[in-house]
A and B are shown apart, each in its own frame.
Chain A
């Protein structure tokens, strides 16, 4: 299988199908991140499309020594933040699918069904609270705790110092705690 850099070279050489392969490889991951930031599937689909269009039109500026996914994530995150600024905090916190018992990630063999239900419920409450945060705090919490990025990766994605990332994480979690109460 061709790696991302090779696909980008092919695309810049005029092979459009190479870009289709790149999109097919990454669109689910980008969509999921965008969805977690926006909390709305329709907006998430629009912003994901815009993100890939922007990636395509700026492909000649991509540095081949960087990770394509990290670059696409940066573009998508910035579009999310812009979108949230324009839209403001949504009246409806989360998409209906999340509220209706969507399957959660594997919690391991040692977790009883009752505990799984409780953890899933806590997860929904926290996720709903995250949706109420200011856009940058929300982005930082999503990238850190849902996407599993390291502090350095978040700093690079959102173009902010690591100290600012830590501060936003602290404030974001504090706000979530106030909204959710005891877990």
Chain B
């Protein structure tokens, strides 16, 4: 590990959240690097000095004052309790990742099914051709809009990260983003397996 690697993990290391080989590697680096060791020392002494700061106690009448101000307000709106928007983010990221993968692979699957004599789903294939041709021929402005959409997707994934119940769900979202970038770049250069299959 170099200094940048170690410093990026120093907070977690101080909290004891870095374990196994990474913790050993950091300890080894700290033993030989005065700069990083000094930075850890900074964390320890500031944290140590602030850890003993007592809880500040409010004045006795603060609770009464807050209650009086609340009592003077109209009741909060009694609508439906807000849906967890982060869960919408999780679902959107997963659905978008799924759609990207499908749109990438579907034409290949269709082409293979045609080769094996299985009936081709005409409208789906036509739609796939249209999408691929559109990407290939899209002016730069539309291409930029597509990338902007990718950015929105990334925000969904960030929201997903905050609420994702499992690491797996977050990884699906992140992989979806990477896949989308590869998909768009390759499609514009006409190199996707899908495009090659469709051209045949």
Residues of A within 8 A of B (CB): 8-9, 11-14, 16, 19-20, 23-24, 27-29, 31-32, 35-36, 41, 44-45, 48-49, 52-53, 56-66, 102-105, 107, 119-120, 122-123, 125-127, 130, 141, 144-146, 150-151, 156, 166, 169-170, 173-174, 176-177, 183
Contacts and interface: CB of A to CB of B under 8 A. Distances in A.
B59 A45 contact: yes
Contact of B46 (A59, A62, A120, A176): A176
Most A CB atoms within 10 A — which of B39, B43, B59, B66? Answer: B66
Contact of B52 (A123, A141, A156): A123
Contacts of A12: 76-78, 81
Interface string B84-119: 111100000000000000000000000000000000
A105 B53 CA distance: 6
The 9 closest A-B pairs by CB, nearest first: A145-B50, A126-B49, A35-B56, A31-B58, A59-B76, A60-B77, A32-B56, A32-B55, A104-B52
B51 A23 contact: no
Given A27-B58, A166-B8, A123 B53 contact: yes
Contact of A27 (B11, B53, B62, B86): B62
B110 to A, nearest CB: 41
Contacts of A103: 54
A62 B76 CA distance: 11
Contacts of A125: 49
A126 B50 contact: yes
Contact of A45 (B50, B62, B82, B84): B62
A119 B70 contact: no
B168 interface: no
Nearest to A97: B56
Nearest to B70: A56
B47 interface: yes
Contacts of A11: 76
B60 to A, nearest CB: 11
Interface in B25-54: 39, 42-43, 45-54
Contacts of B67: 20, 23
A31 B190 CA distance: 60
A92 B58 CA distance: 19
Contacts of B58: 27-28, 31-32, 35, 41, 44-45, 48
